[in-house]
Chain A
């Protein structure tokens, strides 16, 4: 009791965010069963749509897997960004964030830590479910480089989109509300993109939207990279979307945080 470890150092917002990331991931280490939870939704979306609907849509499920396999995985993970909102909502219900908010810690770090931890989980799911796709016959012409570049843009896109869920988690009144947000927003967004349908098959007015839909930019970028082609306009559009989403939702989230925790 006589010894007391003291320090006068401080760490910057990124280091603090890294600590928060580690904190969210430590609970995975304590409860490794969570590792299975993360892959279930994207894996079931991939397998059920490929096997049960793929043949009807493209003649054979193998043809469908080649066309839509990777984007289906990305879509499954896109739905999983809801976990960022739910996780944050759960944190806010306990006293943890009261303590953290009353501490000299960057607000951005507290939120970014949650997003970064979820990215690690998404990356894990991406690799596992990607492996499943490989196992049932998917091959990328772009090879390892194409796959690595695709993984990178998917994680980048998901991390930008997760900030929308940070805002939802901070402003929602209940878990049900967050789930409703997911169904009413993410699903129409996903189904009006080239994630797993071709633009020409959509009704006329929706075609216009499908062309500018960020998920179309993601799907097109993924196809280009996986095919081993040089990235072009679609990749720029995707990066533009990521920057725009971050530019809008990071400040909005910080404002919502201030309102929620210091009202």
Chain B
């Protein structure tokens, strides 16, 4: 089996809206596929199709070779979903939630309790295990939700925006758990709005917008496609802005942009940024602030949708010529 998750030409409409408009995805066993896109891109619909919660209008989705429509019951045996909204009973305690899931999955009373305790330890929820979930913080809910998804270890785990709204330390903690699961052989499909998250966790990324995959590849490929890193410098004196831009231009040859009170210099790797900084220091230009930034999802989108517009433009030109 080449792919643990394989999606071909998936289409799903809700009334007039085409939530998925011919999506192709593939995730090799034991890898993480990141589905990156803004709100309303179709990420959750794709997740719902894969976890048998929504039937596609056209196209196929296979999980471990099983068709999500025809073999839904078998897919549910082997795939686990952590939805965007915590799939927990807020009136129950953390432990009771885990015990319920284990019982529904066939565990005996004592097996269910012992599994719940293992997960509570692993997800560092011992202090809150006997409190109702409604009093949990966002991070605790997410951890418990993920714990609930692996009560019986799934072969495929689907995570829909697992860290949206989490503070940085909760986010890092959750990433660590996902890495552990992958190391144990689980295939993960992860949706996210954060390039950094996809970059940290995913082996392959598919960028999705308006129900279509507009770019895909490894994180490195994707970042190269959008221009890698950006060095941002703000001069201490605003009138030095142009001079600073010229310095940066002279050094590397890439075209720096003046954005508000900053100069943004696209660089291929940190070494280039160091070279630019050395140049600036040598020229004696005082900086109020500077930093090296990964491209944001906004920038990725700007670049990628820019390409797409160009393609359409080219097509129109071709049509006009014909």
- Judge if B174 is at the interface, Cβ distance under 8 Å: no
* 8 Å CB interface, A199-237 against B: none
In the complex, are the beta carbons of A263 and B89 less than 8 A apart? no
Cα A3 to Cα B114 in complex, Å, equals 10
Residues of A within 8 A of B80 (CB): 102-103
Given the interface pairs A30-B132, A98-B81, the reply to whether A23 lies near B100 with Cβ below 8 Å is yes
Residues of B within 8 A of A5 (CB): 107, 111, 114-115, 118
- Judge if B226 is at the interface, Cβ distance under 8 Å: no
Given the interface pairs A1-B122, A31-B91, A94-B90, the reply to whether A102 lies near B104 with Cβ below 8 Å is no
- Judge if A173 is at the interface, Cβ distance under 8 Å: no
In the complex, are the beta carbons of A19 and B108 less than 8 A apart? no
In the complex, are the beta carbons of B105 and A103 less than 8 A apart? yes
Name the contact of B89 in the complex, choosing from A27, A101, A105 (C-beta under 8 A).
A27
Q: Give the nearest-CB partner of B96 in chain A.
A: A26
Residue among B85, B91, B122 facing the most chain A CB atoms (10 A cut-off) = B91
Q: Which of A9-17, A143-151, A158-166 contacts B (4 or more CB under 8 A)?
A: A9-17
Residues of A within 8 A of B310 (CB): none
| Interface size, B (range) | 35 or more
- Judge if B103 is at the interface, Cβ distance under 8 Å: yes
Q: Which of B52-60, B195-203, B240-248, B299-307 contacts A (4 or more CB under 8 A)?
A: B52-60
- Mask, B88-123, CB within 8 Å of A = 1, is 111111001000110111111001001100100110
Residues of B within 8 A of A27 (CB): 89, 91-92
- Judge if B76 is at the interface, Cβ distance under 8 Å: yes
Q: How far is the CB of B96 from chain A (nearest CB, A)?
A: 5
- Judge if A135 is at the interface, Cβ distance under 8 Å: no
The count of chain A contact residues (Cβ–Cβ below 8 Å) is 33
In the complex, are the beta carbons of B88 and A95 less than 8 A apart? yes
- Judge if B77 is at the interface, Cβ distance under 8 Å: yes
Q: How far is the CB of B106 from chain A (nearest CB, A)?
A: 4
- Judge if B126 is at the interface, Cβ distance under 8 Å: no
In the complex, are the beta carbons of A104 and B108 less than 8 A apart? no
Cα A98 to Cα B47 in complex, Å, equals 11
- Judge if B79 is at the interface, Cβ distance under 8 Å: yes
Q: Give the nearest-CB partner of B74 in chain A.
A: A104
- Judge if B148 is at the interface, Cβ distance under 8 Å: yes
In the complex, are the beta carbons of A262 and B77 less than 8 A apart? no
Q: Give the nearest-CB partner of A29 in chain B.
A: B96
Q: How far is the CB of B300 from chain A (nearest CB, A)?
A: 28
Given the interface pairs A1-B122, A5-B115, A30-B132, the reply to whether A95 lies near B85 with Cβ below 8 Å is yes
- Mask, A37-58, CB within 8 Å of B = 1, is 0000000000000000000000
Name the contact of A104 in the complex, choosing from B77, B114, B148 (C-beta under 8 A).
B77
In the complex, are the beta carbons of B83 and A98 less than 8 A apart? yes
In the complex, are the beta carbons of B73 and A262 less than 8 A apart? no
Name the contact of B100 in the complex, choosing from A10, A19, A31, A95 (C-beta under 8 A).
A19
- Judge if B51 is at the interface, Cβ distance under 8 Å: yes
- Judge if B86 is at the interface, Cβ distance under 8 Å: yes
Given the interface pairs A1-B121, A10-B106, A19-B104, the reply to whether A262 lies near B89 with Cβ below 8 Å is no
Residues of B within 8 A of A20 (CB): 100, 104
Name the contact of A102 in the complex, choosing from B51, B84, B111 (C-beta under 8 A).
B51
Q: How far is the CB of B303 from chain A (nearest CB, A)?
A: 34
Residues of B within 8 A of A102 (CB): 51-53, 76, 79-81
- Judge if B87 is at the interface, Cβ distance under 8 Å: yes
Residue among A5, A7, A262 facing the most chain B CB atoms (10 A cut-off) = A5
Residue among B87, B90, B100, B108 facing the most chain A CB atoms (10 A cut-off) = B87
- Mask, B269-284, CB within 8 Å of A = 1, is 0000000000000000
- Mask, A110-147, CB within 8 Å of B = 1, is 00000000000000000000000000000000000000
Q: How far is the CB of B183 from chain A (nearest CB, A)?
A: 13
In the complex, are the beta carbons of A262 and B55 less than 8 A apart? yes
- Judge if A96 is at the interface, Cβ distance under 8 Å: yes
Cα A242 to Cα B86 in complex, Å, equals 37
* 8 Å CB interface, A239-263 against B: 261-263
- Judge if A197 is at the interface, Cβ distance under 8 Å: no
Residues of A within 8 A of B86 (CB): 94-95
Cα A79 to Cα B102 in complex, Å, equals 35
Residues of A within 8 A of B55 (CB): 262-263
In the complex, are the beta carbons of A95 and B92 less than 8 A apart? no
Given contacts A11-B103, A27-B89, A30-B92, 20 further A-B contacts (CB under 8 A): A5-B107, A5-B111, A9-B106, A9-B108, A11-B104, A11-B106, A19-B100, A27-B91, A30-B93, A30-B132, A31-B91, A94-B89, A95-B83, A98-B87, A100-B87, A102-B51, A102-B53, A103-B101, A103-B104, A104-B76
- Write the residues of chain A forming the contact surface with B, with a CB cutoff of 8 angstroms: 1, 3-11, 16, 19-20, 22-23, 26-27, 30-31, 94-96, 98-105, 261-263
Query: Can you name 24 A-B residue pairings with CB atoms under 8 Å?
Result: A1-B118, A1-B122, A4-B115, A5-B114, A7-B106, A11-B103, A16-B104, A23-B96, A26-B91, A31-B91, A94-B89, A95-B86, A95-B88, A98-B81, A99-B87, A99-B101, A102-B53, A103-B76, A103-B101, A103-B105, A105-B104, A262-B54, A262-B55, A263-B55
- Name the 5 nearest CB pairs between A and B, nearest first: A99-B87, A27-B91, A95-B85, A95-B87, A10-B106
